[in-house]
C-alpha cells in the first residue's frame, strides 16, 4: 500500500515520517512519506521544527489527512504504515482527527495529560500557563481527559482545518519561548528530565496541544485507534495498576464527561487513591533476602 493514494470510498492521506540522520532515514516505513530534517537547524524544538516548516510552506488540500510521525512511531505503537492507512480508510473521511496514540496507561490513570507532565517533568506552573494559552478554561487539577481526547507524541493525522488551529496555538507558545522575556518564556526553555535524557519544557508542551484542542473544542470529530491494543508507556506502571482497573478509571472519566454526573468523578478519584495507597504500602514491605 503506497504512501499516497486515492479511493472513491475514502479521503486521501499524506502521512510523513520525519528523519534527521542517515540512520533514521533508512528506518522510515516505506508506506510513509519521508520528511527531511537532516539540517536539523533547531534541535531544541525537536519534531515541531520540520512540522512547522511544512505547514507554513505547503498548500494543503482541504479533505486530505496529513500526519507527521517521529522516527520512533513503529517502536512506540507497533503499527505499520499499512495498518495506519487501513484504519484511516475505515473512517471513510468522517473524522477530522484520527489518533494513533499509544500509552493507554497514561491516558486512564492521570486526570489529564497536563497533570501527568507536571508530575513527570516538574515545572507545573509553566505547563499550567502554557495549557491556558491553548485552552483558557483548562485547569490542571480539575479538567478531565480520557482516552477519547488524549494524544501522545503527536501520533495523529488530521485535516487542514485542525492543523490550522494546532499551528496557531503552537505558534503562540513558539513566540513566547523565542522571545524568552517573561517567566513563562524562560520556563518554556528550561530543560526537564525525560527518561534518561533531557529536553526543553516547550517540547513536551507542544506534544500536548492536540489533546488540549480536542478537550476545549468539541466541534472536532475524532476517531481513535484502540489504545488498549498498543504498548503502554511503562510496563512497571502497568504492573502496579491492572488492565481492568485502568479500563474502569478511563470509563469513569468518560462517563463523567458525557453525563456531567459528579459521582463518576468521585468514584474515579477514590479508585485512583486506593491504587496509589496500595502501591505505597506494597513498596514499603520489606523484601525477602532470597528475592
Q: Which helix (DSSP H) or strand (DSSP E) does residue 90 occupy?
A: helix 81-91
105 neighbors 237 (Cβ within 8 angstroms): yes
- How far is CA 251 from each of CA 6, 32, 48, 219, 246, rounded to the nearest angstrom? 36, 33, 32, 22, 8
Q: What is the mean pLDDT of the chain?
A: 91
In 3D, which of 117, 82, 119 has the Cα closest to residue 100?
A: 82
Per-residue pLDDT tens over the stretch 206-228? 999 999 999 999 999 999 999 99
Q: Is 72 helix (H, G, I), strand (E, B) or coil?
A: coil
pTM for this predicted structure: 0.91
pLDDT in tens for each of the 291 residues of the chain? 344 434 434 458 999 999 999 999 999 999 999 999 999 999 999 999 999 999 999 999 999 999 999 999 999 999 999 999 999 999 999 999 999 999 999 999 999 999 988 777 778 999 999 999 999 999 999 999 999 999 999 999 999 999 999 999 999 999 999 999 999 999 999 998 766 678 999 999 999 999 999 999 999 999 999 999 999 988 777 677 888 999 999 999 999 999 999 999 999 999 999 998 887 777 666 554 444
Domain boundaries, the chain: 13-240, 241-284
Torsion of CA 126, 129, 134, 136, to 10 degrees: 160
Cβ within 8 Å of residue 206, ≥6 positions away = 45, 46, 48, 154, 170, 173
Amino acid at each position: 500500500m503506497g504512501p499516497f493514494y486515492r479511493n472513491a470510498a475514502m479521503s486521501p492521506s499524506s502521512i510523513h515520517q520525519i528523519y534527521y540522520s542517515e540512520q533514521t532515514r533508512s528506518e522510515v516505513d516505506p508506506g510513509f512519506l519521508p520528511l527531511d530534517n537532516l539540517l536539523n537547524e533547531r534541535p531544541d524544538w525537536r519534531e515541531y521544527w520540520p512540522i512547522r516548516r511544512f505547514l507554513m510552506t505547503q498548500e494543503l488540500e482541504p479533505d486530505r489527512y496529513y500526519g507527521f510521525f517521529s522516527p520512533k512511531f513503529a517502536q512506540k505503537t507497533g503499527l505499520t504504515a499499512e495498518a495506519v492507512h487501513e484504519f484511516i480508510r475505515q473512517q471513510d473521511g468522517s473524522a477530522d482527527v484520527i489518533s494513533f496514540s499509544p500509552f493507554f496507561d497514561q491516558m486512564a490513570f492521570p486526570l489529564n495529560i497536563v497533570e501527568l507532565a507536571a508530575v513527570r517533568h516538574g515545572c507545573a506552573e509553566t505547563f499550567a500557563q502554557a495549557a491556558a494559552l491553548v485552552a483558557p478554561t483548562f485547569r490542571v487539577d480539575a479538567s478531565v481527559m480520557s482516552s477519547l481526547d488524549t494524544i501522545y507524541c503527536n501520533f495523529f493525522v488530521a485535516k487542514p482545518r485542525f492543523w490550522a488551529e494546532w499551528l496557531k496555538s503552537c505558534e503562540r507558545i513558539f513566540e513566547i519561548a523565542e522571545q524568552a522575556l517573561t517567566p513563562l518564556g524562560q520556563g518554556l526553555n528550561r530543560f526537564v528530565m525525560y527518561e534518561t535524557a533531557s529536553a526543553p519544557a516547550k517540547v513536551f508542551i507542544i506534544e500536548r496541544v492536540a489533546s488540549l484542542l480536542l478537550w476545549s473544542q468539541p466541534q472536532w470529530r475524532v476517531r481513535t485507534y484502540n489504545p488498549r491494543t498498543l504498548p503502554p508507556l511503562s510496563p512497571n506502571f502497568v504492573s502496579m495498576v491492572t488492565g481492568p482497573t485502568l479500563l474502569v478509571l478511563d470509563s469513569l472519566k468518560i462517563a463523567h464527561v458525557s453525563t456531567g454526573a459528579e459521582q463518576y468523578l468521585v468514584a474515579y478519584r477514590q479508585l485512583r487513591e486506593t491504587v496509589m495507597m496500595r502501591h505505597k504500602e506494597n513498596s514499603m514491605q520489606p523484601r525477602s533476602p532470597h528475592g
